[in-house]
Structure 1
Amino acid sequence: MKNPIKKVAAIHDLSGYGRASLTAIIPILSSMNIQVCPFPTAILSNNTGGFESFSFVDLTDSMEDYMNHWTKENIKFDCIYSGFLGSSKQVDIILNFIETFNNNSSMIVVDPVMGDNGKLYPTINEDIIEKMKILVKKSDIITPNLTEATYLLEKSYTKDINENKIKKMLLDLSNMGPKIVIITSVPDTIIPDNINVLAYDKESSKFWKVGCKYIPVEFPGTGDAFTSVLIGSLLNGDSLPIALERSMQFISTSIKESYGYNYPRREGILLEKTLDILKMPIMNSNYELLE
């Protein structure tokens, strides 16, 4: 029996306050007609962006039992999507999860959530970084931001980086295992007011770029939202450049919409007001095939 709705196993944390991780992933993918099956790695009182403190419950000790019950139920997934990890030990559990639930047609997506703007998040340490490199090897698609890409490659972070250097980073990350590598939050050195996403598809040996005007405001959870739209788009049959364009359109339009309201930015983009963007056709496609 073929299920009419595709399923994503979302291996992420749950932040009780602020639109990030599972509280962003679930509504976005659900609105794209995809079922999200949460596999929580940690429970936080609030997201880590913009708040001075947060409570943190590591769910490592519960994850294997959680997974074993899914195994007994013989659940199948069209995508396994991992993000923020509560401990380095969780990588071993996720590797086992991939081995158990990957049915050769599942798409394995790893968003190596570790930091931003050149800095690691408070809960990330060297053990997690090293383990994340192992997880990347088992993935089909990875979506690090520029900071995370530099940590994976053991390079120094800088915003002054040209297109050729980013392409080299994409190739180096692809050589670690994934078929598709996407680096987000890349400053445009030619058009300073722009921010770019660059991607490399190993199977076609093609580089893609999509950009938008940079808006000088930060909302937590935009990385989770970008990757979620990307996954939904690909599962719904879009090509990689179209999926990149759709993801960028959603993020940039959502930021503009949210920016117009007076509320604490630490709460994330106003998904309740912006999910309808996902039902809109792509406007003024500007993805670019790079030489």
Structure 2
Amino acid sequence: MAGLAKAMTIAGSDSGGGAGIQADLKTFHQLGVYGTSAITAITAQNTKGVAGVYPLPTEAVSQQMNEVLSDIGTDAAKTGMLFHAEIIEEVAKQIRHFEVTKLVIDPVMIAKGGAKLLQDEAITALRNHLLPLAEVITPNLPEAAYMTGLLIETPEQMREAAKVIHQMGPRHVMMKGGHLQDDAIVDILFDGRDFYEFAHKRIHTRHTHGTGCTFSAALTAELAKGTSLVHAVERANRFIIEAIKTAPQIGGGHGPTNHWAVIDYM
């Protein structure tokens, strides 16, 4: 176990267990990675929506990161719900201090039920402080549209948005195409020069709560294990597809995906 890969999640807590810190740690564990965490906010929510958001003091976020990274360290890290600018700036400071190079940013902005999970002024802090440190950012189409001000309804528009986001500083942009109005979903990875496309069929289900968190956690786990980015995306995609296919049908709203999903690594 001495060579066990480690991954850290810096995100909000989901009391319903389908997204956020809970989804990330379940995914890390399932993919054979030791998971650590820094909680940024506590949410009161279930499959039907978010009833309350309670951000932690910035000092608490900072101390969690410092205590974990100064002792356990990490091979990769991901961010999820960061909520406001002060937390974003402090997270960026800790990432720089501990020289975390494999950073995955899931720009969590709005919950499925419409609750705002990132304050408006925080988007500037995200651009200025965190994006330049990222190995990859994983926006869905509404998040990418919010970040760029562009209309994104086609794969070609996804590519244009990826170029704009890449100019904000991340080394790679992973555009998730789940919001395309088509049964054929295309995800697009951009490295500043080349595009890589990952196509799969849409799974018709309402049980998709936490898909973004789970995908980005799977991607982080694979990077922590030393998987190349393109192969890490392929494996993370296989994991989230299987997790959606085998969702446990929990709750009366948008239920969680299956964090016990098993994928074939061959």
Instruction: Give TM class, smaller chain.
Output: 0.7 to 0.9
Q: What fraction of aligned residue pairs are identical, expressed as a percent? A: 22
Counterpart position of 1:228: 217
Cα–Cα, structure 1 residues 70 and 228, in superposed 2: closer, same or farther, change >3 Å? closer
RMSD: 2.6
Counterpart position of 1:58: 56
Contact 1:12 1:22 in 2 (8 A): yes
Deviation at 1:199, TM superposition (A): 0.5
Cα–Cα, structure 1 residues 175 and 83, in superposed 2: closer, same or farther, change >3 Å? same
Deviation at 1:210, TM superposition (A): 1.0
Highest CA radius of gyration, 1 or 2?
1
Equivalent-residue separation in structure 2 for 1:133 and 1:53 (angstroms): 28
Cα–Cα, structure 1 residues 226 and 67, in superposed 2: closer, same or farther, change >3 Å? closer
Q: Secondary structure at the match of 1:212?
A: strand
Paired residues in the alignment total: 264
Counterpart position of 1:164: 156
Contact 1:17 1:267 in 2 (8 A): no
Equivalent-residue separation in structure 2 for 1:101 and 1:52 (angstroms): 33
| Counterpart amino acid of residue 202 in structure 2 | Y
Contact 2:176 2:188 in 1 (8 A): yes
TM-score (norm 2): 0.87
TM-score (norm 1): 0.80
| Counterpart amino acid of residue 146 in structure 1 | L
Deviations, residues 126-146 of structure 1 (Å, cap 9, x unaligned): 112222222212212111111
Deviation at 1:23, TM superposition (A): 0.8
Equivalent-residue separation in structure 2 for 1:114 and 1:66 (angstroms): 22
Deviation at 1:257, TM superposition (A): 1.6
Q: Does 1:255 align with 2:259?
A: no
Contact 2:41 2:54 in 1 (8 A): yes
Counterpart position of 1:269: 257
| Unmatched 5+ stretches in structure 1 | 283-291
Deviation at 1:246, TM superposition (A): 1.8
Counterpart position of 1:38: 37
Runs (4+) off by over 6 Å: none
Deviation at 1:52, TM superposition (A): 5.6
Equivalent-residue separation in structure 2 for 1:94 and 1:195 (angstroms): 33
Equivalent-residue separation in structure 1 for 2:209 and 2:6 (angstroms): 25
Greater relative contact order, per chain length (Cα 8 Å cut-off, separation 6+): 2
Equivalent-residue separation in structure 1 for 2:124 and 2:227 (angstroms): 33
| Unmatched 5+ stretches in structure 2 | none
Deviations, residues 20-60 of structure 1 (Å, cap 9, x unaligned): 1111111211222211110110112335x622623534343
| Counterpart amino acid of residue 17 in structure 1 | G
Counterpart position of 1:141: 136
